[in-house]
Amino acid sequence: MPVILPVKGILPEMGNDCFVAPNATIVGDVIMGDQCSVWFNAVIRGDVNSIRMGNKVNVQDGAVIHCTYEKTKAIIGNNVSIGHNAIVHGCTVEDNVLIGMGAIVMDNAHIGSNSIIAAGAVVLENTKVEPGSIYAGVPAKKVKDISQSLISGEIDRIANNYLMYSGWFKDDATGK
């Protein structure tokens, strides 16, 4: 069973048709939209501030979403993929974004819509990622504008695949 716990009397809220892996952890002031998935060993800690997630967000294996006490909240838009072992901390991620595996997004960063944060990138505090761009490196810098084919071929494809994958687990749990 996943660990889903209240903190200071506030219990996480999940939308319709969500999947939470048996060893995922979601605590405190967390509200997620519909068709979200939280994968194996992922942690979403709304203990020190609030976390808001839109629809069709996937938080992949080992990823962590957290905030800074009394300073930063985490706001994540719709159709966002947070890759394996990524850390998303006290920042804003707009719609249609891919955060690559092992990437780190720090406090008060703002990730514009239709963007990709490359695997292993470190987005420093207060960085503003331009909409429709790819950022990579340590510290992360803009490497190029994103094409429409990358938006549909990577951002949408990965989000849709994770929706499909979560369905496999939901089907198995119900015996279908």
Instruction: Flag whether pLDDT at 96 surpasses 70.
Output: yes
Q: What is the pLDDT of residue 130?
A: 97
Instruction: Flag whether pLDDT at 174 surpasses 60.
Output: no
What sign for the dihedral angle of Cα 78, 163, 103, 53? positive
Q: In angstroms, rounded to a whole number, what is the distance separating the alpha carbons of residues 106 and 120? A: 13
The pTM of the full predicted model, rounded to 2 decimals, is 0.95
Per residue in 11-35, pLDDT tens?
Answer: 999 999 999 999 999 999 999 999 9
The full set of domain ranges for the chain reads 3-174
Q: What is the pLDDT of residue 128?
A: 98
Q: What is the pLDDT of residue 15?
A: 97
Contact 28, 44 (CB under 8 A): no
Assign a CATH topology to domain 3-174.
UDP N-Acetylglucosamine Acyltransferase; domain 1 (2.160.10)
Taking residues 65-78, what's their average pLDDT? 97
- Give the residue with greater pLDDT, 172 vs 2: 2
The rounded radius of gyration (Å) of the Cα atoms in the chain is 15
